[in-house]
A and B are shown apart, each in its own frame.
Chain A
Amino acid sequence: MIVSILASCASKSAVPIGDDLNVRVIVKKQNHDFWAVVELGALAAEREFGINVEYTGPTSEEDIDGQIRMVEAAIEDKVDAIVLAAIDYNLLVPVAEQARDAGIPVLIIDSNINSDRMNSFIGTDNVDAGRVLGQSLVDTMGTDVDIVIVSFVKGAASSNEREQGVMEIIEANENINLIDTLYCNSDEAIAEALTIDMLEKHKELDAFVCLNAYATVGTARGVISKGLEGDVKIIGFDSTPEEISYLEKDIIELVVVQNPFSMGYLGVKYAIEAAYGNTIPGNVNTGAVVITKENMYLPENQKLVFPFVD
């Protein structure tokens, strides 16, 4: 009787509220537009559920060892849950599984890892995002086009998946002529150089389909330097201020944007649920939205395109 009364007191609220709950959010790179929005989402969840969120990430997106050390530190600190955006598809697997072995829920956001032991993946369905890219190409330019895909890292999960999505559309439309697929290694300068090279070799080129922000910006710069703005269309990805500027100047036709805020928010929200032992969805698609010059100022898109209030 005593136990039941006390228990009924304790379990009064449906949403678990734990002042002592610690969630470690480890992203790919600190101080970056995209990850800063992820952080905003994580902080929104921290405030809503009254827990502690610690947000970390290496300074460079190549610092795989740094990120592994951060996961190790989280295990050592005995945090209640880890939210991880993995830099590498394979190399983060051992340490992430080590966390699982230690009984810590691990939720992957944005970039998945090669393991089926993680509690959840929350992020853009990259194949779907690729399909959106391909479909918007068809929607804006028709099917009789010669295109180049500018991907980022050959073999990286997200670039593979986005490519796969684009390829599904291309294969469904026989008239689309894929000239080449380029890899810029997430470097704007490389993307620019590859673009210039491509433009010189293939005068018939109608459009570039770029699979991330670096590829988009580099390609746009290349097109500008060849003075082909408007003649060669760019279908881009993500919404950095430079991309938005190009979008408004009609250099970029459209961009497909993700929802990093939802990744951060849902990552932490489901991490709390997992820490309390509740079942959570194994896969959450945060979606991808097509942003054009026309719809970018709609109230529902403004926050996606311009996430920060200065």
Chain B
Amino acid sequence: MNKVKRIGRSFKTIKGIFKLGSLQSVITISFAAITMIAMLVIGIVFYSSFSDNARESATESTTQIMTQAKLNLEYYLGTMVEISDLIEDNMALFTAGNTDKIADILSLTREIRQDIESITLYSDTGAILLAEPDLKFDRNLVPTREDWFTYAAANPFDYVFQPPHVQRIYEDLRPWVVTLSRSMVLDLTEGRRNYIAVVDMNFSGIEEVCSQVELGHRGYIYVVDDSGKIIYHPQQQLIYAGLKEENIQRALSNETGSFIEEFNGEEISTVIMGVEPSGWKMVGISYVDEIVRNRRSFNNLIVVILLVGLGFIVVASIYISYKISQPIKRLEYQMNRIERGDFNIENLEVRGEDEVKQLTRSFNVMIRRIKKLMSQIIDEQEAKRKNELKALQAQINPHFLYNTLDSIIWMNENENHEGVSEMTAALAKLFRISLSRGREIITVEEEVEHAVSYLTIQKMRYKNKFTYSINLPEELKNLRTMKLLMQPIIENAIYHGIANIPDEGRIQISVYRKEDTLVYKVSDNGYGIDENQLENILLEDSTSMHSSGVGLKNVNERIKLYYGYDFGVSIESVQEEGTTVYIRIPVRKEESGEKIS
């Protein structure tokens, strides 16, 4: 069960990573992409520099090997040239009739150089003048029809090389040879005479030199003459049979040098060298990957490194992005809960990176503050309701009502009809304003009327034990005010202030404006309040027997809740002299602010 859960979670995580646009996917993808690109660039740079290196060294090693082969080949050809020169040097002997002597020289030469197949000398008509070895000639041989004769005759003094061919000077001897022929012109007493000297060298020596060249496993060299005829090619027969093609024309058209080309997806290095003095060209074909054997394994290494690196990067970037985004995600989850209105959360655990910690802390502080504010609002609302309830009770204080009604009955029995009607009218007014059809806000005029009604009733009940005066400027009458602000104060003044003094009591009410503040000033000449009481009077619920239950504190709190903490009730009192209470509320022309329902 647990396991299933975990798998589910990790699946969720993976899904989370690849949810495009999420923080984690952005981090993962960009991190992986940047690193991959960097690795690729490095890989490509490495590879190309290594590749260039490989090509260079392939060409270099091919050139080195070929140079050796070329020197060997030139040595063979040089030998033929020397023999040809030898004949020329000794032509004087021949023309002097000393044929045996020159035959001896040639015989000796051939003994030293076993790979010389034959040395022959022809007249310009093709007659054989001298031959080493001196064997039976082939009756089918017509020298003037052979390339090696005609080419030499056409190019006097030149060393003319013939590509490998089967020589048929002698009967039943068919050696493969390379032929050097040279036409010499001698000025003799009987006139100018042409001779053709021919040196046949067995091709096996040359073939061996060429075939032993190893340019990797499949590389090879071939040799062509200046007309494109193949001197040597390891697959000469395949070319004749049409099974293989070699781009000989390219080798001919190119000067000596080297180049690299791609063929069938493989890099092929071609090196071309001239072979002196024949005008032949030696062409080396090698496969770069074979010459530089480690290149392919290097390629594979790069690929493996890239793949391993990619895997590592992906894992690392998933991990890193997870580490970064996880705390944020948790925060996001909690915020979502709050967004849905669920404030019932504990403090978030502060962990992760510094920034995230800070964010979490701030978030925690914010949540705490919101919670505090919310509980404060709840408290305030509760207090408001409570106060309203109390104010409501004050509006219909039954005790006061009984007493007043008793007074009315009493006056009626005494047939004080004037008093009855005055008191009843005041009571009616008092209650009308108290109720005010449920409104909390009334005009200042109404508030003052309410106070006057109250004072009227009390004055009658207390048998004119006090007098009162009202000072309400005309311009303040229409301002708005909470209702029943003054009545509790007046009640206090009567019961606690002037009720117990021997002199006539005096209550003065004046309403005035001080800047943006409206002040109800209620002063009496009563007993006064001692300092101890004064300090506590606004804090305690003064629920004395005579109180209507709505004390100074209630008025004070109602003002503060409704108008804010800048407003409220303040008291000045001097013992034996009297008490002045200031009720401050803001000046409001219209009913505004919170509507109390």
Binding site for B on A (CB under 8 A): 2, 5-6, 9, 12-15, 17, 19, 40-41, 44, 47-50, 241, 244-245, 248, 259, 261-262, 265-266, 293, 297, 299-300, 302-303, 305-310
When A41-B237, A47-B234, A302-B165 are in contact, do A265 and B303 touch as well, CB less than 8 Å?
no
Q: Is the CB of A248 within 8 A of B138?
A: yes
When A265-B243, A306-B174 are in contact, do A13 and B266 touch as well, CB less than 8 Å?
yes
Write out the residue numbers on chain B whose beta carbons fall within 8 Å of the beta carbon of A19: 217
Q: Is the CB of A310 within 8 A of B175?
A: yes
Q: Chain B residue with minimal CB distance to A269?
A: B243
Kindly state the separation between the CA atoms of A297 and B168 in the bound complex, as whole angstroms: 9
When A248-B140, A297-B168 are in contact, do A14 and B241 touch as well, CB less than 8 Å?
no
When A262-B241, A262-B243, A302-B165 are in contact, do A310 and B202 touch as well, CB less than 8 Å?
yes
Is B65 engaged at the interface, CB distance under 8 Å to the other chain? no
0/1 per residue, B239-251, Cβ < 8 Å to A? 0110100000000
Given A6-B300, A9-B296, 8 more contacts at CB 8 Å? A241-B174, A248-B140, A262-B238, A302-B165, A303-B236, A303-B237, A308-B176, A309-B203
Q: Is the CB of B307 within 8 A of A306?
A: no
Q: Which of B164, B172, B174, B265 has the most CB of A within 10 A?
A: B174
Write out the residue numbers on chain A whose beta carbons fall within 8 Å of the beta carbon of B217: 19, 50
**8 Å CB contacts to A: which residues of B162-198?**
163-166, 168, 172, 174-176
Kindly state the separation between the CA atoms of A252 and B374 in the bound complex, as whole angstroms: 126
When A15-B264, A266-B243, A310-B202 are in contact, do A299 and B218 touch as well, CB less than 8 Å?
no
Kindly state the separation between the CA atoms of A121 and B236 in the bound complex, as whole angstroms: 24
Q: Chain A residue with minimal CB distance to B138?
A: A248
Kindly state the separation between the CA atoms of A293 and B175 in the bound complex, as whole angstroms: 17
Kindly state the separation between the CA atoms of A273 and B175 in the bound complex, as whole angstroms: 37
Kindly state the separation between the CA atoms of A274 and B257 in the bound complex, as whole angstroms: 39
Query: Of A12, A49, A297, which one neighbours B265 at CB under 8 angstroms?
Result: A12
Q: Is the CB of A259 within 8 A of B241?
A: yes
Q: Is the CB of B172 within 8 A of A245?
A: yes
Q: Is the CB of B300 within 8 A of A9?
A: yes
Q: Is the CB of B235 within 8 A of A44?
A: yes
**8 Å CB contacts to A: which residues of B419-446?**
none
0/1 per residue, B354-393, Cβ < 8 Å to A? 0000000000000000000000000000000000000000
Binding site for A on B (CB under 8 A): 138, 140, 163-166, 168, 172, 174-176, 202-204, 207, 217-218, 220, 229, 234-238, 240-241, 243, 264-266, 296, 299-300, 303, 307
Q: Is the CB of B265 within 8 A of A14?
A: yes
Shortest Cβ distance from B71 into chain A, in angstroms? Answer: 22
Kindly state the separation between the CA atoms of A151 and B204 in the bound complex, as whole angstroms: 37
Q: Is the CB of A244 within 8 A of B229?
A: no
23 contacts between A and B (CB under 8 A): A6-B300, A9-B296, A9-B299, A12-B265, A12-B266, A13-B264, A13-B265, A13-B266, A19-B217, A41-B237, A44-B234, A44-B237, A50-B217, A241-B174, A248-B138, A266-B243, A293-B140, A297-B166, A297-B168, A300-B240, A306-B166, A308-B176, A309-B202
Q: Which of A17, A40, A266, A299 has the most CB of B within 10 A?
A: A299
Q: Is the CB of B166 within 8 A of A6?
A: no
Consensus secondary structure, chain B interface: mixed
Shortest Cβ distance from A164 into chain B, in angstroms? Answer: 26
Q: Chain B residue with minimal CB distance to A260?
A: B237
Shortest Cβ distance from B494 into chain A, in angstroms? Answer: 97
Q: Which of A6, A241, A309 has the most CB of B within 10 A?
A: A309
Q: Is the CB of A310 within 8 A of B204?
A: yes
Write out the residue numbers on chain B whose beta carbons fall within 8 Å of the beta carbon of A293: 140
When A248-B140, A306-B176 are in contact, do A265 and B238 touch as well, CB less than 8 Å?
yes
Q: Chain A residue with minimal CB distance to B208?
A: A309
Shortest Cβ distance from B127 into chain A, in angstroms? Answer: 21
Q: Is the CB of A9 within 8 A of B303?
A: yes
Q: Is the CB of B303 within 8 A of A6?
A: yes
Q: Chain B residue with minimal CB distance to A296?
A: B166
Kindly state the separation between the CA atoms of A20 and B174 in the bound complex, as whole angstroms: 40
Write out the residue numbers on chain A whose beta carbons fall within 8 Å of the beta carbon of B164: 309
When A9-B303, A50-B218 are in contact, do A309 and B204 touch as well, CB less than 8 Å?
yes
Kindly state the separation between the CA atoms of A2 and B303 in the bound complex, as whole angstroms: 9
Kindly state the separation between the CA atoms of A9 and B238 in the bound complex, as whole angstroms: 30
Kindly state the separation between the CA atoms of A48 and B265 in the bound complex, as whole angstroms: 17
Kindly state the separation between the CA atoms of A305 and B303 in the bound complex, as whole angstroms: 53
Q: Chain A residue with minimal CB distance to B174?
A: A306
Q: Is the CB of B307 within 8 A of A309?
A: no
Shortest Cβ distance from A53 into chain B, in angstroms? Answer: 14
Kindly state the separation between the CA atoms of A262 and B236 in the bound complex, as whole angstroms: 12
Write out the residue numbers on chain A whose beta carbons fall within 8 Å of the beta carbon of B202: 309-310
Q: Chain B residue with minimal CB distance to A298?
A: B165
Kindly state the separation between the CA atoms of A17 and B307 in the bound complex, as whole angstroms: 26
Q: Is the CB of B264 within 8 A of A14?
A: yes
Kindly state the separation between the CA atoms of A49 and B300 in the bound complex, as whole angstroms: 23
Q: Chain A residue with minimal CB distance to B172?
A: A245
Q: Which of A6, A13, A41, A297 has the most CB of B within 10 A?
A: A297
Q: Chain A residue with minimal CB distance to B218?
A: A50
Q: Which of B218, B241, B300 has the most CB of A within 10 A?
A: B241
Q: Is the CB of B176 within 8 A of A310?
A: yes
Write out the residue numbers on chain B whose beta carbons fall within 8 Å of the beta carbon of A13: 264-266
Write out the residue numbers on chain A whose beta carbons fall within 8 Å of the beta carbon of B243: 262, 265-266
Q: Is the CB of A261 within 8 A of B237?
A: yes
When A13-B264, A13-B266 are in contact, do A299 and B241 touch as well, CB less than 8 Å?
no
Kindly state the separation between the CA atoms of A47 and B175 in the bound complex, as whole angstroms: 26
Shortest Cβ distance from A52 into chain B, in angstroms? Answer: 12
Q: Is the CB of A244 within 8 A of B174?
A: yes
Kindly state the separation between the CA atoms of A308 and B203 in the bound complex, as whole angstroms: 10
Kindly state the separation between the CA atoms of A48 and B203 in the bound complex, as whole angstroms: 22
When A306-B174, A310-B176 are in contact, do A48 and B229 touch as well, CB less than 8 Å?
no
Q: Which 10 A-B pairs have the closest CB atoms?
A: A309-B176, A14-B264, A261-B237, A50-B217, A306-B166, A309-B204, A302-B166, A262-B241, A300-B240, A303-B237
When A306-B174, A310-B176 are in contact, do A2 and B240 touch as well, CB less than 8 Å?
no
Shortest Cβ distance from B110 into chain A, in angstroms? Answer: 16
Write out the residue numbers on chain A whose beta carbons fall within 8 Å of the beta carbon of B166: 297, 302, 305-306
Kindly state the separation between the CA atoms of A224 and B163 in the bound complex, as whole angstroms: 36
Shortest Cβ distance from A285 into chain B, in angstroms? Answer: 12
Q: Chain A residue with minimal CB distance to B202?
A: A310
Write out the residue numbers on chain B whose beta carbons fall within 8 Å of the beta carbon of A241: 174
Q: Chain B residue with minimal CB distance to A15?
A: B264
Q: Chain A residue with minimal CB distance to B266?
A: A13
Kindly state the separation between the CA atoms of A261 and B234 in the bound complex, as whole angstroms: 13
Kindly state the separation between the CA atoms of A139 and B243 in the bound complex, as whole angstroms: 29
When A261-B241, A309-B204 are in contact, do A2 and B307 touch as well, CB less than 8 Å?
yes
Kindly state the separation between the CA atoms of A231 and B176 in the bound complex, as whole angstroms: 32
Q: Chain B residue with minimal CB distance to A261?
A: B237
Q: Chain A residue with minimal CB distance to B230?
A: A299
Kindly state the separation between the CA atoms of A241 and B173 in the bound complex, as whole angstroms: 10
Q: Which of A19, A241, A244, A265 has the most CB of B within 10 A?
A: A265
Write out the residue numbers on chain A whose beta carbons fall within 8 Å of the beta carbon of B236: 303
Q: Chain B residue with minimal CB distance to A49?
A: B218
Kindly state the separation between the CA atoms of A144 and B265 in the bound complex, as whole angstroms: 60
Write out the residue numbers on chain B whose beta carbons fall within 8 Å of the beta carbon of A299: 163, 165, 229, 240
Shortest Cβ distance from B257 into chain A, in angstroms? Answer: 26
